[in-house]
């Protein structure tokens, strides 16, 4: 029975904010034969452990917690009877869109007309930073500490140092403090914070937790549980400055040092990745280099807010609807380039025949800037910003009627 | 509590576990005392896992003889006990005329020691074997290979346990005395009496030897730092790449593991404390630089973690490194087998060392064979390594195989449960990790560690505060957040 291949219009891999939003929109667009494959026992993805508020302001114009935000989508998915296969891991997808799913009742095989990659991202770990020293208990990524506290009711820390000013790290600084741990400081190797300004204010400043920029942990101490960390100021090329060593006694080191789109499955299908985003290279319809395989959300590029993940996934769902209904779609062969101030732009290729929303991040903090889409020296769309921070995504709408066909599209900071 | 044994083995490293397993073929009450909460936590698993050919040791030495024997039997042993072993060969690359002469000398020495399948290859053949290798010529040792050193150690231990050996984990020896013709060993909470005692304490061999009344051994601790690289590079290195060795130092090498990761290392530095395993930035920088000369195909970004290991070396008064010493001193310490300076190639030679120990014992006492001895160990079937048909069969038989817990290495709930219920009763996150590969992939447990900790609580009945990461005193939690 399970040996048989089941046909689907769309298989959605991942039931987090991207996958759920895409599924709902597809169903609203009249695409019936869809399935969400979710590896956890419940849908919701990372939102399940994000019990802080700050979700939904853009998407629902309401302040919600992560689980409440997820619940909005899950309830609607239930009402529309969208099938969600939980506790099921997709282990392989092929370029011709055949997926293998491992579940407790056996291996399942699906053949889909379109696959939506919505696997989200993972955290960078200590290993990737190669911090020297011992390997004791008590080194956790911020997301792991968050899961232990919010989902598993386990207290992993008492006396804490945090490395990295990513948003989850700052949110955990507040969460740990509220649960009785003592957070000594947050250290950031960059000369600017890597998380949102609102989190610095609400999670660090309000709790008197200092943020030290241009500092990093250069050694972990303790053979059993962490006994402390050595922190150093960094100079050119992030090299630790000799003589600035300071020892912080602590039992826990929390890491919030970056998120990496989770693309092992995509690579297996031959999807090409962008070295800057570490997500797939996509066209204006969120289609990857493999026809019929689409990507949105944190698997595509790491977002600052979950709301934008959902909005992006809804936009993607409209494109997938066009694809599976056989609509005639323009060729996207024109590359979008960017100047040295910009880290990346999504999408990477466009048709120059449709309106497009460009999503980008700057490389370093900039003030009083104009972000512009330029074609052959002509500015066809622009946005003025008092501040542009690497922590925040910038969105730039380029309307169809302004686009000049046949001319290369570049995004620049003016 | 008091325990009485015929043989008590001090140290659950690969040699102690091999002795336990080999001795369990006789009708004897056997116990192993290990200070850590699992076997193989020190020297045994902190190395490159290379199965040596036996050519880089002095002719006539125990190191050479036992290594050659260990190399010969490794295939059989790996099949019986189900641990990963590949006879992939090993290459020693050279550039200069002096190095060429030295390698020829190594071949002569190796052949005199009984090592075989050693030959020189020219530049062209070297690049056919390993296109990415640097060098003008090389010595190829076809018999060399790689094992997973932790799984080899735990496989020996689990097989011993299945054959009736008692493993006393988290049991550090604090005192040894001789009373009424028996050895009395005290740990923090327990007393053991035994007719035979075996010192296979590895890095602590000197300390235990003193406790037995055998004094004067000078042991130095040679510490080496290693770097682990992402498995995506593993396919470029089909076998370990070494430089030209001396008889006491192998040099920095690039090794592939049975899991397909690359290892760079080790550095070599003498240390006072045998259990200071912290790595140092200066050593890592040195390793990057040195390894780059041998195999310039990685970047610092390929590093996924670092670790270190310690080799206990017996040295004479001039500091010259000595052979293995395996002895029974009937007058000073009757019925005590003393193993001193068991360093590299101790992993390769572990079972021959065990058989050598048993020969010494049998010269003094007749051991009756254990008719129930079963040399085979059931393995944990790895879902990720199975064919699709095998995977379907596994899930049909046990639905826990249909639940992937660690997504990076595709480790299922069934495998985690088998590891938690291992025959030794090891109960830590590391015990599960090393037996299954979970938490070893790209996310380093970011996705699965919470569920593994939870399974340790529910399956092993541990309190949250009793879950250790690796060693005793390495708790994951300080309690519950609420109630």
In a domain, B239, yes or no: yes
Please give the Cα distance from A188 to A193 (Å, whole number): 7
**Nearest chain B CA: its distance from A99 CA (Å):** 13
Average pLDDT of span A304-321: 97
Predicted-complex ipTM score? 0.94
Residue B83, φ and ψ in degrees, nearest 5 = -125, 155
C-beta of residue B279 within 8 angstroms of C-beta of residue B307: yes
Q: In terms of CA atoms, which chain A residue is nearest residue B483?
A: A153
Region for residue B151 given its phi and psi (left: phi exceeds 0; alpha: psi -120 to 50; beta: otherwise): alpha
Q: Is B82 annotated as catalytic?
A: no
Please tell me chain B's helix, strand, coil percentages from 3-state DSSP, rounded to the nearest 5.
35, 25, 40
Mutate to test the interface with B, among A16, A216, A223 (most CBs of B within 10 A): A223
Give the residue from B177, B172, B169, B216 showing the smallest Cα distance to B193: B177
C-beta of residue A344 within 8 angstroms of C-beta of residue A301: yes
Please give the Cα distance from B416 to B455 (Å, whole number): 8
Please indicate if any CB of chain B lies within 8 Å of the CB of A86. no
CB contact (8 A) between residue B480 and residue A156? no
Regarding whether B128 and B248 lie in a shared domain, the answer is yes
Is the per-residue pLDDT at B250 higher than 80?
no
Residue B467, C-beta contacts closer than 8 angstroms, at least 6 positions apart: B428, B429, B453, B456, B457, B475, B476, B477
Question: Which segments of chain A belong to CATH 3.50.50.60?
Answer: 1-123+258-329, 125-257
**Nearest chain B CA: its distance from A87 CA (Å):** 7
Q: Which CATH number fits domain A332-414: 3.20.20.140, 3.40.50.300, 1.10.150.20, 2.60.40.10?
A: 2.60.40.10
Average pLDDT of span A352-374: 95
In a domain, B441, yes or no: yes
Please give the Cα distance from B244 to B258 (Å, whole number): 23
Please give the Cα distance from B379 to B29 (Å, whole number): 25
Please indicate if any CB of chain B lies within 8 Å of the CB of A105. yes
Q: Which of A103, A133, A136 sits opposite B279 (nearest CB)?
A: A133
In a domain, B52, yes or no: no
Helix (H) and strand (E) counts in chain B: 12, 22
**Nearest chain B CA: its distance from A190 CA (Å):** 18
In a domain, B72, yes or no: no
Average pLDDT of span B401-406: 97
Is the per-residue pLDDT at A126 higher than 90?
no
Please give the pLDDT value at position A25: 98
In a domain, B69, yes or no: no
Percent of chain B exceeding pLDDT 90 equals 89
CB pairs below 8 Å between A and B: how many? 141
**CATH classification at residue B299:** 3.30.9.10
Regarding whether B243 and B194 lie in a shared domain, the answer is no
Q: Which of B388, B404, B481 sits opposite A153 (nearest CB)?
A: B481
**CATH classification at residue B164:** 3.50.50.60
Region for residue A14 given its phi and psi (left: phi exceeds 0; alpha: psi -120 to 50; beta: otherwise): left
Model confidence pLDDT, tens digit, residues A231-274: 999 999 999 999 999 999 999 999 999 999 999 999 999 999 99
Average pLDDT of span B422-435: 95
Binned at pLDDT 50, 70 and 90, residue A1 comes out as very low
Is the per-residue pLDDT at A314 higher than 70?
yes
Please indicate if any CB of chain B lies within 8 Å of the CB of A157. yes
Sign of CA dihedral B326, B330, B331, B333: positive
Burial class (CB in 10 A: 0-12, 13-18, 19+), A81: exposed
Please give the pLDDT value at position B1: 63
Chain B CB contacts of A130 under 8 Å are 227, 284, 300, 303, 305-306
In a domain, B195, yes or no: yes
- Across chain B, mean pLDDT equals 95
**Nearest chain A CA: its distance from B338 CA (Å):** 28
Regarding whether B458 and B391 lie in a shared domain, the answer is yes
C-beta of residue B333 within 8 angstroms of C-beta of residue B210: no
CATH fold of A125-257 reads FAD/NAD(P)-binding domain (3.50.50)
Percent of chain A exceeding pLDDT 90 equals 94
Please give the pLDDT value at position A128: 75
Regarding whether B352 and B237 lie in a shared domain, the answer is no
CB contact (8 A) between residue B476 and residue A179? no
Please give the Cα distance from A229 to A251 (Å, whole number): 9
Please give the Cα distance from A213 to A253 (Å, whole number): 17
Tokens of A190: 């960059």
Model confidence pLDDT, tens digit, residues B118-167: 999 999 999 999 999 989 999 999 999 999 999 999 999 999 999 999 99
CA angle A118, A121, A124 (to 5 degrees): 170
CB contact (8 A) between residue A130 and residue B300? yes
In a domain, B80, yes or no: no
Please give the pLDDT value at position B340: 98
DSSP 8-state secondary structure symbol assigned to residue B408: T
Chain A CB contacts of B474 under 8 Å are 136-137, 224-225
- Please give the order of strands across the beta sheet that includes A349-350: A349-350, A334-338, A409-413, A366-375, A378-388
Please give the pLDDT value at position B366: 97
Please give the pLDDT value at position B304: 83
Please indicate if any CB of chain B lies within 8 Å of the CB of A377. no
Please indicate if any CB of chain A lies within 8 Å of the CB of B470. yes
Regarding whether B290 and B237 lie in a shared domain, the answer is yes
Q: Which of A107, A137, A141 sits opposite B469 (nearest CB)?
A: A137
Please indicate if any CB of chain A lies within 8 Å of the CB of B201. no
Regarding whether B234 and B288 lie in a shared domain, the answer is yes
Q: In terms of CA atoms, which chain A residue is nearest residue B299?
A: A128
In a domain, B192, yes or no: yes
Regarding whether B307 and B162 lie in a shared domain, the answer is no
Is the per-residue pLDDT at B458 higher than 80?
yes
Regarding whether B19 and B156 lie in a shared domain, the answer is yes
- Structurally, chain B folds into a number of domains equal to 3
Regarding whether B329 and B201 lie in a shared domain, the answer is yes
Q: Which of B443, B473, B479 sits opposite A122 (nearest CB)?
A: B443
Residues of chain A numbered 117-146 and touching chain B (CB < 8 Å): 122-123, 125-128, 130, 132-138, 141, 143-144
Please give the pLDDT value at position B300: 85
Q: Which of B300, B450, B478 sits opposite A155 (nearest CB)?
A: B478
Determine which one of B3, B52, B127, B253 is catalytic.
B52
Please give the pLDDT value at position A407: 86
CB contact (8 A) between residue B395 and residue A149? no
Please indicate if any CB of chain A lies within 8 Å of the CB of B364. no
Chain A CB contacts of B481 under 8 Å are 149, 153-155, 179
Please give the Cα distance from A243 to A260 (Å, whole number): 33
**CATH classification at residue B456:** 1.10.10
Binned at pLDDT 50, 70 and 90, residue A336 comes out as very high
Please indicate if any CB of chain A lies within 8 Å of the CB of B479. yes
Regarding whether B436 and B400 lie in a shared domain, the answer is yes
CATH 3.50.50.60 is right for the domain spanning A1-123+258-329 = yes
Please indicate if any CB of chain A lies within 8 Å of the CB of B129. no
Q: Which residue segment(s) compose the domain that B38 sits in?
A: 2-43+150-217+320-362
Q: In terms of CA atoms, which chain B residue is nearest residue A224?
A: B474
Please indicate if any CB of chain B lies within 8 Å of the CB of A235. no
CB contact (8 A) between residue B474 and residue A137? yes
Regarding whether B154 and B130 lie in a shared domain, the answer is no
This model's pTM is above 0.90: yes
Residues of chain A numbered 304-343 and touching chain B (CB < 8 Å): none
Q: A89-122 b/e with 16+ CB inside 10 Å = b?
A: bbbebeeebbbbbbbeebbbebebbbbbbbbbbb
Mutate to test the interface with A, among B230, B291, B383, B395 (most CBs of A within 10 A): B395
CB contact (8 A) between residue A39 and residue B407? yes
Residue B55, C-beta contacts closer than 8 angstroms, at least 6 positions apart: B64, B106, B107, B109, B110, B111, B113, B115, B118, B141
Model confidence pLDDT, tens digit, residues A159-215: 999 999 999 999 999 999 999 999 999 999 999 999 999 999 999 999 999 999 999
Mutate to test the interface with A, among B265, B402, B441, B473 (most CBs of A within 10 A): B402
Model confidence pLDDT, tens digit, residues A57-102: 999 999 999 999 999 999 999 999 999 999 999 999 999 999 999 9
Q: In terms of CA atoms, which chain A residue is nearest residue B279?
A: A133
Please give the pLDDT value at position A2: 47
Tokens of B199: 């010192």
């Amino acid at each position: 029975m399970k040996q048989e291949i089941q046909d689907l219009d769309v298989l959605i891999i991942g039931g987090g904010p991207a996958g759920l939003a895409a599924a709902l929109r597809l169903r609203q667009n009249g695409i019936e034969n869809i399935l969400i494959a979710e590896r956890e026992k419940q849908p919701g993805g990372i939102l399940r452990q994000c019990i802080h508020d700050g979700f939904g302001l853009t998407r629902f114009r309401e302040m919600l917690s992560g689980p409440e935000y997820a619940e909005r989508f899950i309830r609607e998915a239930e009402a529309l009877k969208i099938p969600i296969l939980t506790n099921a891991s997709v282990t392989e997808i092929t370029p011709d869109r055949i997926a293998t799913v491992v579940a407790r009742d056996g291996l399942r095989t699906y053949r889909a007309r379109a696959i939506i990659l919505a696997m989200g991202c993972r955290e960078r770990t200590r290993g990737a930073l190669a911090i020297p020293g011992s390997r004791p208990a008590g080194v956790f990524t911020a997301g792991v500490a968050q899961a232990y506290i919010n989902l598993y009711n386990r207290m992993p820390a008492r006396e804490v140092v945090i490395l990295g000013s990513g948003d989850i790290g700052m949110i955990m600084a507040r969460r740990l403090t509220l649960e009785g741990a003592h957070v000594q400081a947050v250290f950031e190797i960059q000369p600017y914070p890597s998380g949102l300004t609102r989190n610095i204010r609400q999670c660090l400043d309000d709790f008197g937790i200092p943020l030290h920029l241009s500092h990093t942990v250069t050694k972990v101490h303790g053979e059993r549980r962490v006994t402390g960390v050595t922190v150093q100021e960094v100079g050119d090329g992030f090299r630790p400055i000799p003589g600035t060593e300071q020892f912080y006694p602590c039992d826990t080191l929390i890491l919030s040092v970056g998120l990496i789109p989770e693309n092992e499955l995509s690579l297996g299908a031959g999807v090409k990745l962008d070295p800057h985003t570490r997500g797939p290279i996509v066209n204006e319809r969120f289609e990857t280099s493999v026809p019929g395989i689409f990507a949105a959300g944190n698997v595509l590029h790491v977002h600052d807010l979950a709301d934008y993940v959902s909005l992006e996934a809804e936009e993607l769902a409209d494109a997938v609807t066009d694809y599976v209904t056989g609509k005639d779609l323009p060729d996207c062969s024109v590359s979008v380039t960017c100047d040295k101030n910009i880290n990346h732009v999504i999408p990477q290729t466009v048709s120059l025949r449709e309106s497009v929303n460009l999503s980008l991040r700057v490389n370093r903090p900039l003030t009083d800037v104009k972000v512009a889409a330029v074609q052959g020296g002509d500015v066809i769309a622009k946005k003025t910003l008092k501040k542009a921070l690497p922590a925040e995504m910038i969105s730039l709408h380029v309307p169809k009627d302004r686009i000049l066909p046949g001319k290369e599209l570049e995004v620049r900071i003016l | 509590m008091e325990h009485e044994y015929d043989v008590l083995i001090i140290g659950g490293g690969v040699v102690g576990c091999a002795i336990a397993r080999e001795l369990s073929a006789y009708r004897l009450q056997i116990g192993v005392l290990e200070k850590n909460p699992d076997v193989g936590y020190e020297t045994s698993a902190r190395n490159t896992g290379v199965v040596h050919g036996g050519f880089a040791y002095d002719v006539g030495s125990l190191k050479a003889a036992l290594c050659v024997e260990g190399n010969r039997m490794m295939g059989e042993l790996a099949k019986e006990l189900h641990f990963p072993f590949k006879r992939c060969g090993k290459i020693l690359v050279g550039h200069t005329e002096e190095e060429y002469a030295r390698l020829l000398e190594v071949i002569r020495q190796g052949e005199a020691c009984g090592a075989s399948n050693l030959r020189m290859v020219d530049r062209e053949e070297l690049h056919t074997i390993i296109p990415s290798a640097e060098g003008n010529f090389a010595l190829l040792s076809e018999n060399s290979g790689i094992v997973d050193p932790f799984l080899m150690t735990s496989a020996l231990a689990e097989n011993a346990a299945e054959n009736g050996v008692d493993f006393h984990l988290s049991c550090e020896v604090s005192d040894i005395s001789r009373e009424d013709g028996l050895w009395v060993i005290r740990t923090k909470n327990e007393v053991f009496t035994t007719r035979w005692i075996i010192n296979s304490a590895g890095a602590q061999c000197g300390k235990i030897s003193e406790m037995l009344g055998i004094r004067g051994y000078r042991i130095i601790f040679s510490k080496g730092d290693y770097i682990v690289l992402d498995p995506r590079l593993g396919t470029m290195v089909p076998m370990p790449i070494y430089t030209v060795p001396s008889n006491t130092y192998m040099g920095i090498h690039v090794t592939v593991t049975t899991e397909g990761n690359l290892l760079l290392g080790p550095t070599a530095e003498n240390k006072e404390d045998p259990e200071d395993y912290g790595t140092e930035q200066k050593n890592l920088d040195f390793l990057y630089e040195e390894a780059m000369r041998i195999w310039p195909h990685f970047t610092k970004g390929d590093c996924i973690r670092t670790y270190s290991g310690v080799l206990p070396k017996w040295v004479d008064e001039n500091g010259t490194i000595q052979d293995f010493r395996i002895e029974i001193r009937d007058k000073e310490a009757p019925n005590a087998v003393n193993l001193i300076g068991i360093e590299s190639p101790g992993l390769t030679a572990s079972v021959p060392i065990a058989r050598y120990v048993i020969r010494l014992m049998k010269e003094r006492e007749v051991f009756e064979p254990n008719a129930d001895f079963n040399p085979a160990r059931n393995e944990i079937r790895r879902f990720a390594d199975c064919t699709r048909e095998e995977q379907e069969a596994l899930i049909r038989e046990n639905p826990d195989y249909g639940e992937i817990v660690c997504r990076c290495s595709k480790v299922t709930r069934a495998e985690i449960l088998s590891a938690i219920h291992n025959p030794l009763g090891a109960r830590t996150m590391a015990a599960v990790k090393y037996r299954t590969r979970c938490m070893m992939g790209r996310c380093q447990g970011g996705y699965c560690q919470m569920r593994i900790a939870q399974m340790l609580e529910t399956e092993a009945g541990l309190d949250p505060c009793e879950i250790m990461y690796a060693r005793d005193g390495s708790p994951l939690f300080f309690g519950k957040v609420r109630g």
